[in-house]
Amino acid sequence: MASLDGKNVLVIATNYGVEQDEIVVPVDQLRERGASVTVAAQETGSIQTLVGDKDPGKSVDVDTTIDGVSLDGFDALVVPGGTINADTLRTDQQAVALVKAFVESGKPVAAICHGPWTLVEAGVLTDRTITSYPSLQTDVRNAGAGWVDREVQVDGGLITSRNPGDLPAFVDALDHALSA
């Protein structure tokens, strides 16, 4: 039996601009560990990922749309980065409302790199400590949180990491949160 059998994880993203490894690695590794993973984007079809915010990456199939899901039936939420993805996602009212609902429910929310911009926009960082891509430090602090430079930071149900190099620790922290 895999460690995450019976767990349902939702991943939200835009259809363009997600940092390739920040969606592909968590989706693949969570599925390998037994979780059922649903990928929701702004539109049906596929997600065109990027490598380093500029080079085309793999295409990722979309299972549903962001406005077609709620926190019901899911055990955790993953918000991948990519500057274009995260900047666009934080302006999507449905995505921001979904992030806020997950945080308020106490279910794990894992955001990596620029993904924490959605946490800033959702107004859920007061008195929390997170990490992110370093350029988000001021935004995080202005949102009422402390910022640390660590490969993974866990604060209650929030799991955050800085960049694709932190993915092993990021996925392990999410696995631990779902197994607790």
| Percent of the chain scoring above 70 in pLDDT | 99
**pLDDT the model gives residue 1:** 54
CB–CB of 132/162 below 8 Å? yes
- Give the right CATH number for 8-179 from 3.40.30.10, 3.40.50.620, 3.30.565.10, 3.40.50.880: 3.40.50.880
* pLDDT of 3 above 90: no
What is the average pLDDT across 138-156?
Answer: 98
pLDDT in tens, 35-92: 999 999 999 999 999 999 999 999 999 999 999 999 999 999 999 999 999 999 999 9
- Nearest of 87, 80, 39 to residue 163 by alpha carbon: 80
> ∠80-121-114 over CA atoms, to 5°?
30
- Quick one: pLDDT band at residue 98, thresholds 50, 70, 90? very high
* pLDDT of 17 above 70: yes
Overall pTM surpassing 0.95 (yes/no): yes
CB–CB of 61/30 below 8 Å? no
Domain ranges of the chain: 8-179
Catalytic residue numbers, as ranges: 114
Cα 100 to the center of its chain, rounded Å: 13
Quote the crossing angle between the two packed helices 167-179 and 20-32, to the nearest 10°.
Answer: 40
**pLDDT the model gives residue 122:** 98
- Nearest of 156, 159, 107, 99 to residue 132 by alpha carbon: 159
